[in-house]
Chains A and B, each alone.
Chain A
Amino acid sequence: MPGRNVINTQVLIIGAGITGAGLARDLSLRGVRCLLVEQKDVNAGASGANHGLLHSGARYIKSDPASAEECQKENHRLKGLASHCIDPCGGLFVAVNGDDENYIADFPLLCAQCGIAAHPVDLNEARNLEPALSDQLIAAYRVNDGAIDPFRLTLDNIAQAMEKGARLLRFTRVTGFTLGQSKITETQLVNTQTGEERHIQAEVVVSAAGAWAEQVAALAGIPIHVIYSKGSLLVTQNRLAQRVINRLRRPRDADILVPGGTVSILGTTSVRTPTPDAIYPEIDEIDRIIEEVTLMIPALETTRYIRAYCGVRPLVGSDDSDDDRKVSRGYALIDHARDKVENFITITGGKLTTYRLMAEKTADLVCQRLGIGQPCQTGTEPLPASAGAQWTEPGLAPRQWIKLNDRDDLLLCECEMVSQSSVDQIITGMGKLQTPLTLEAIGLRSRVGKGPCQGTFCSQRLSAYLYERGLIKDDQGLVNLCRFLSERWRGQHPLLWDIALIQSELQEAMHCGLFGLELTGASAKRSMDDE
C-alpha cells in the first residue's frame, strides 16, 4: 500500500522496561532481529519506580519460596555479570520490639531451605555496622542484598541489543493488531508526539508491557487479568545506611531501606488501583512509610526528603485475596497459543532481580516459535557498560568536571554538579534517540534535576544551553520547562513541608511569578496531557 510506513522484523517487543530490554538483548545475542517499542521512554513503568533492590531472596522465604530461590540464584549471577550496575552493599534483616517472634525464630531455617545465606548478627554489632539503626532492635541477620541502578541496567541492555542490530522506537504506542489465521499479521502503532502511524509485520509479538499487559492483550481480543498494585517510595537527601535494611517480618508496607548512591530509598506500599495510569504517591502513603521505617531508623522522622515516586506492580493471578502481598511476585509467561493466537506471548510480573531469568525463559519460547536453536548467552556473557548509560551514577559528573578543570565548562545542574560537557556527552550517548530532545529524557539518563532544587534552577540553565547549542528551537524550551517541572512535581508534592516547602515556593515564584509558565500555551498542552 503506498504511503504506508511498514517495518518488518522477526520479533516485536512491546515495552522498554527492564523485561523488554533484557529480552531484546537476549534475542539479539541469539542473532534474532528485534524491534522494541515503548509508549513513553525507557523504564517509564515499574522498572523505573522501584527500590533498585537486588534481593537476597529472604523477603519471600515464607510467602513465595520459589521466588526466593530464583532471587538468590540471580542475585549471585548478576553480581558477576553486571557488576557495574550493582552496589554489593549487603543487607540486614532487623526486627524491632513488638515484631512477630515466631517469624523471627523460623527465619534462619526458611532461608536455609531456599539456599539463602543468613547470618545472625549481635545487636550491638548491627548498630556498629549501621549506626542509624534503632536501639529497639530485637533481632538482626546479615544477607547478601545489593542495590541496582535500574536505569543503567535497562540502558545497558538496550545498548547492547542495539549494537547487535535491534531497534528502539520511543513514544510509540500500540493501537491495534490485525489478526489473520490464528496469528497477528500486523501491529499498528502511533507516535504519541507526532501522530505519525506505523505498521509492523513481525513473526512473533511479545508484550513486555508490564502493568499495561492487560490492555495490550485486549487489543488482540485476549483477556488477561492483571491486578494493579501501586507501591510508593521516598528518596532522602543523604544516604542514611550503607547496607540494605529490611524489616524482619512477614512482608508488609514500608519494610525496606535501600541505598541508591548518595541517597537512601524507602518504601513501599501496596495499594490497589483501577488502572496503571495517572497514579501519584499519595500523602497518606508517604506519611505511613515514614512512620513505619522510622521504627527501624529513627533519623527518618527528621531527615530531609527529596522526592517521592510510585510504580504499579502488575500481579497476575486470582484476585479473591484481600492482600496483594499474598499474590505471587513471580512472573507470568503466557503463550497465547492457548488463546488461538500462536505468535503472541505475554511476559509480565516478576522482579527487577529476576529480569534476566524472565528474559531467558521468554526468549526460549520465542526461539522455539521461530525454530531457532541458539542457546541463551545472558547467563554467562557479562553485560557491557555502555557510554550513554554511565551518567546515572551520582559521582561521575562531578568527578569529570573536577578532572577537566575547564573554566568554560559551566555547571548547569549545581546540586548534582552536572556540567555542560557532561550534558554534551549525555546527549551524544543518546545517539539516535536525541529527538525529541527533552529535559525529561536528559534527566532520565543522568542526575540532572535530582538534587534538592528538583530542577528549579537547572531547568532554565539547561534550556538556555540547549538553545545556544541549537539543539532545540521555536518554543520547545517552554514546553520542555513545563513538562520537566510537572514531572518533577509529581515527586515533590507529597513531601512539601519544612525546607522542601520553602524550595517549592521559590520554584513557583520563579517559574510562575516571573516567567508566567502557567499562562503559556505550553502549560495548557501539558495539563491536557495529564488528563
Chain B
Amino acid sequence: MMNNLPEIRCDLLVIGSGMTGMAAALFAANRGIDTVQVGLAGELGFASGFLDLLGVHPIEEGRLWNRPWDGIDALAKSCPRHPYARLDKKDMRVALSDFISFLTANGLPYYAESDRNLKMITPAGTIKTTYAVPVSVKNGVRAIAEKGSCLIADFHGLKGFSGRQIVETLKKTWPKLITKRISFPDATGELLPEQVAFSIERPDCRAQLTEAILPYLDGVDYVGLPAVLGLYRPMMVFNDLQRRLERLLFEIPTMPPAISGVRLKNIFEQNLPLQGVRTHYQHKILSVDYRDSHVFRFDVGWEQPVLTIFSKGAILASGRFIGGGLAADRKQVREAIFGLPVHQPGNRSGWHRKSFLDPKGHPINRFGLVTDDNLRPLGNNGKPAIPNLFAAGSILANQDWIRQKCGAGLAITTAYAAVKAWVRLSA
C-alpha cells in the first residue's frame, strides 16, 4: 500500500469537527496529547449556542428537569445503558467547566447556574430548557423569570424570525412582552444573518440601530434582539449596544444554520491550532487500516486522498446522519468509517414512528455504537472492536439527544471521558 502522499504521525486522531470532535480535541490538547483532528466542520453551524445537559426524562412523559444533575441520576437509574450512566459526575462537571472556560477565554463567555437549568425563548415562541447560554442571552433568562417589561425588536427582511410570533405565542403568560419591527441600517430586501453580523461590528451601524430602537423604549426594561449581533467580536458588540440602549439587552437564537453556531465553530477553528492541535478541516477519512493493532493508518482528503495519518489511538466523534458518522440504505444503518456494528432492530419499519411528534421518540435516534466502560465500540463478539478506538457524542447508542435535550452535554462529557480513557489505557 505504498503511495506518495505526505505522512504525519500523532498519538491521537480525533475524527469529527462537530461539538464532540471540538471538545475531544480541546481536552486532548489540555492534557498535552499530540493530537490531529479531521472533519468536515459544517455541523457546528447548526448549533443554537445553547448548551443542553439534560432537559427531559422520561421523554414519553415530557418531564422537564430544573435540576439537571438530579435528572441525570434518575436517567442513569432507569436507563442504565444511556452513555451518561457510565460517566463519573465529577468528570462531567470538569468537562463542562473546561469547555466553557475555553469559550470564555476566547471571547464567547457563557452563563450557567451550576445546579439549575435555565429557561430561554426560541424563535417559535416556545420556552427551551437548557444548561448554559452565551452571556449575551443571560438577560433573556432573567426577563422570562421576572416576566419583565420587554421589547423584542426584529428586522425587516430577516426571514423566520418574528417578534410578533414570539409575543403572540407567549402573551397569555407574559403580558408585558411587546415587539417592534425595525429597519436595519442601510439594508433593503432580504437581510442575511451574516450581513447583519458583519455590519454591526461597525460603531456607526450600532449608533444608527440604537437610534431606530430608542423611540420604542418607554417603560421597557429589557430588549431582545435576534442573535445576529456580531460574529468575531460579539461581546464588544453586545456591551456597546447595551450601553447605548441603556436597557438590559439579550439575544434570541435564530433559525439554524445560525450565527450563534458559526461563532462556536470559528472559536474552535481558530484556537485549537493555537493549543497545539493539528487540524485538517474539510478533510474526511477516505480509508482506514488497523491491521497493526498499535497504529492506525488513515488516508484523508476530500475526494482524493491528500494525506496519510498514522495515529496510536482514535476518537470517533463523527456524529449521526447529519454528521456522516452513520449512514443508512433501505435495509440497514451502517457506521460509515470502520463498519462497526450498529445497535439496531431488524428492519426499517422499526426506525421511525408514524407520528412525527410521538412522545416516545423515534427508535432510530437510539441506534448507534455500543461501547465498553472505556467508551470503546464493541464488535460483534461483545469485545472492543479495535483496542485503541474510542467513540463519543451522538454516535453512541441508547440515547436520544434531541428529545432528552442533552446534545451538548453528551458531546462534551463523553469526549472528556474518551480522552481520559485513552490516556489511561495507553499509559
Do A and B truly interact? yes
Query: Which residue numbers of A lie inside 8 Å of B, CB to CB?
Result: 280, 282-284, 287, 290, 407-408, 410-412, 457, 460-461, 463-465, 467-468, 470, 472-478, 481-482, 485-486, 488-490, 493-494, 496-498, 501-502, 504-506, 508-520, 523, 526-527, 530
Residues on B with C-beta less than 8 A from A530 are 355
What 7 A-B pairs are tightest by C-beta distance, nearest first?
Answer: A407-B189, A464-B162, A489-B356, A467-B165, A515-B124, A513-B402, A523-B357
The 0/1 profile, CB within 8 Å of A marked 1, for residues 104-127 of chain B is 000000000000000000111111
Contact present for B165 and A412 (CB under 8 Å)? no
> With the chains together, A232 CA to B266 CA distance in Å?
47
Q: Is the CB of B126 within 8 A of A464?
A: no
Contact, CB under 8 Å: B124 / A463? yes
CA–CA, A482 and B253, complex, Å: 20
Q: Chain B's nearest CB lies how many Å from the CB of A404?
A: 12
Any A CB within 8 A of the CB of B3: no
Residues in A with CB closer than 8 Å to B164 are 467-468, 470
Q: What are the residues of chain A within 8 A of B168 when measuring CB–CB?
A: 467, 472-477
- Give A475 to B189 CA distance when docked, in angstroms: 28
A470, A481, A515, A527: most-surrounded residue (chain B CB, <10 A): A515
B317 nearest CB across to chain A (Å): 17
Known: A464-B160, A464-B162, A481-B124. A505 touches B321 (CB 8 A): yes
Chain B residues with CB under 8 Å of A514's CB are 48, 50, 122, 128, 253, 256
15 A-B contacts (beta carbon < 8 Å): A284-B349, A407-B190, A408-B188, A457-B160, A463-B124, A472-B168, A493-B356, A496-B348, A498-B329, A506-B322, A509-B402, A513-B407, A515-B122, A520-B126, A526-B355
Q: A407-B190, A477-B165 are in contact. List 18 more A-B contacts (CB 8 A).
A: A290-B330, A410-B159, A410-B189, A482-B357, A486-B355, A489-B356, A496-B328, A496-B352, A497-B330, A505-B322, A508-B356, A509-B322, A512-B402, A516-B127, A518-B359, A523-B357, A527-B358, A530-B355
In the complex formed, the residue of B with least CB distance to A282 is B349
A516 near B321 (CB under 8 angstroms)? no
> In whole Å, how far is A300's beta carbon from the nearest beta carbon of chain B?
12
Which residues of chain B come closer than 8 Å to A518, judged between CB atoms? Answer: 62, 357-359, 403
Query: Which among B122, B165, B357 is the interface contact of A486 at CB below 8 angstroms?
Result: B357
Residues in B with CB closer than 8 Å to A493 are 352-354, 356
- Interface on chain B toward A: helix, strand, loop, or mixed SS? loop
Most A Cβ at <10 Å: residue of B256, B353, B402? B402
Contacting residues, chain B, for A478 (C-beta < 8 A): 124-126, 169
Closest beta carbon of chain B to A78's beta carbon, Å = 36
Whether B281 sits at the interface, judged by CB under 8 Å, is: no
Instruction: Give the residue of A283, A290, A510, A519 whose beta carbon is less than 8 angstroms from that of B62.
Output: A519
Output the residue of B123, B159, B329, B362 with the most chain A CB within 10 A. Answer: B159
**Residue B351 interfacial (CB < 8 Å):** yes
B156-174 with Cβ < 8 A to chain A: 156-157, 159-162, 164-165, 168-169, 171-172
Among candidates B62, B189, B320, B405, residue contacting A505 with C-beta atoms closer than 8 Å: B320
Residue contact A508 to B349, C-beta cutoff 8 Å:
no
Residue A407 contacts which of B188, B328, B355 (CB distance < 8 angstroms)? B188
**Set of chain A residues within 8 Å of B160, measured between Cβ atoms:** 457, 460-461, 464
Q: Closest CB of chain A to B407's CB: distance in Å? A: 7
B102 interfacial by beta-carbon distance below 8 Å: no
Tell me the chain B residues, 24-56 only, with Cβ under 8 Å from chain A.
Answer: 46, 48, 50, 56
How far is it, in angstroms, between the C-alpha of A275 and the C-alpha of B161 when the chains are bound?
42
Docked Cα-Cα span, A43 to B402, in Å, equals 35
Pair B169/A477 contact, Cβ less than 8 Å:
yes
Are B169 and A287 closer than 8 Å at their CB atoms? no
Check B357–A461 contact: CB distance below 8 A: no
Query: A504 contacts which chain B residues (CB < 8 A)?
Result: 352
Residues of A near B162 (CB, < 8 A) are 463-465, 467-468
Q: How many whole Å from B366's CB to the nearest CB in chain A?
A: 13
Chain B residues whose C-beta falls within 8 Å of the C-beta of A501 in the assembled complex: 321, 328, 364
Tell whether B288 is near chain A: CB-to-CB under 8 Å.
no
- Report A-chain residues with C-beta under 8 Å of the C-beta of B328: 496-498, 501
Are B321 and A502 interface neighbours, CB within 8 A? Answer: yes
Q: Chain A residues near B129: list those with CB within 8 A.
A: 516
Q: Contact at B125–A477, with CB atoms within 8 Å?
A: yes
List, in ascending order, chain A residues with CB within 8 A of B365's CB: 508
Which residues of B sit under 8 angstroms from A477, Cβ to Cβ? 124-125, 165, 168-169
A506/B356 in contact, CB under 8 A: no
**B345 shortest CB reach to chain A, Å:** 13
- CB-CB under 8 A for A464 and B159, given A475-B125, A509-B402, A516-B128: yes
Q: Which residues of B contact A412 (CB under 8 A)?
A: 159
A328 to B321, CA, bound (A): 46
Q: How far is the CB of A87 from chain B (nearest CB, A)?
A: 30
Given contact pairs A474-B168, A478-B125, A481-B124, A519 touches B356 in the complex (Cβ within 8 A): no
Interface contact B355-A527, CB-CB below 8 Å: yes
Per-residue CB contact flags for chain B residues 400-412 toward chain A (1 = under 8 Å, else 0) read 0111010100000
A510 to chain B, nearest CB (A): 6
Contact A513 B401 (CB under 8 A): yes
Are A497 and B329 neighbours in the complex by a CB distance under 8 Å? yes
Inside 8 A of B401's CB, which chain A residues have their CB? 513
Indicate if the CB atoms of A526 and B329 lie closer than 8 Å.
no
- B46's partner among A467, A494, A506 (CB-CB below 8 A) is A506
Closest chain A residue, CB of each to CB of B130:
A514
**Residues in chain A near residue B267, CB distance under 8 A:** none
Contact A515 B126 (CB under 8 A): yes
Shortest distance from the beta carbon of A260 to any chain B beta carbon, whole Å: 23
B64 on the A face (CB < 8 A): yes
